[in-house]
Amino acid sequence: MNIGEAAAASGVTAKMIRYYESIGLLPEAKRSENNYRVYDARDVHTLRFIKRARSLGFSMEETTKLLQLWQNRARTSAEVKQVALAHIEDLETRIENLQAMANTLRHLASCCSGNERPDCPILDDLAGKTRKEMESQNE
């Protein structure tokens, strides 16, 4: 199948397929006589694996590691679990950071009058002004 058909079958765009090949995540495709890329069912299966790993938020480096483990029948499940657990820890840290950001913005929004005046504690915070500087500015 050509790259368009492989893209349709895997749900990965042709552009991403070419990118995955360029970084070595996907082996270079075989070429037809007219130099078009040719893919088989195994390539499509690999592309689906990559797409699923990426949809779960695995980085390209983690996806590469998982792909190598998937293709290595001598691997242990403990190795795979280690990658997954490390990713879970990273996701939980990012969630905590996002929740902290949301809480900060929620607090700043609650401090903002949202009226016709130009003073705004949200912008003051983004500018790095301290409360004392903000109070002296309002005097």
The whole-number pLDDT of residue 96 equals: 98
Residue 130 lies in a domain: no
CA–CA gap between residue 33 and residue 102 (Å, rounded): 56
> What percent of the chain shows pLDDT beyond 70?
92
CB 63 within 8 A of CB 53: yes
Residue 111 lies in a domain: no
The whole-number pLDDT of residue 117 equals: 87
Question: By C-alpha distance, which of 102, 66, 67, 72 is closest to 87?
Answer: 66
Mean predicted confidence (pLDDT) in 59-79: 96
- Angle 8-15-60 from CA coordinates, rounded to 5°: 100
CATH code for the domain in which residue 44 is found: 1.10.1660.10
Residue 48 lies in a domain: yes
CB 42 within 8 A of CB 33: no
CB 37 within 8 A of CB 3: yes
Residue 137 has pLDDT above 90, yes or no: no
Residue 69 has pLDDT above 80, yes or no: yes
pLDDT class of 56 with cuts at 50, 70, 90: very high
User: How many domains is the chain built from?
Assistant: 1
Residue 71 lies in a domain: no
> What percent of the chain shows pLDDT beyond 90?
81
Residue 17 lies in a domain: yes
CA–CA gap between residue 130 and residue 124 (Å, rounded): 8
The whole-number pLDDT of residue 139 equals: 58
Q: What is the pTM of this model?
A: 0.78
Q: Which range (21-25, 49-53, 94-98, 129-133) has the least confidence? A: 129-133
pLDDT class of 85 with cuts at 50, 70, 90: very high
Residue 103 has pLDDT above 90, yes or no: yes
Residue 82 lies in a domain: no
Separation of CA 68 from chain center? 19
pLDDT class of 130 with cuts at 50, 70, 90: low
Residue 22 lies in a domain: yes
- Show the domain range for 3: 1-58
Residue 83 lies in a domain: no
Phi first, then psi: what are they for 116, rounded to 5°? -85, -5
Question: By C-alpha distance, which of 94, 118, 121 is closest to 107?
Answer: 121
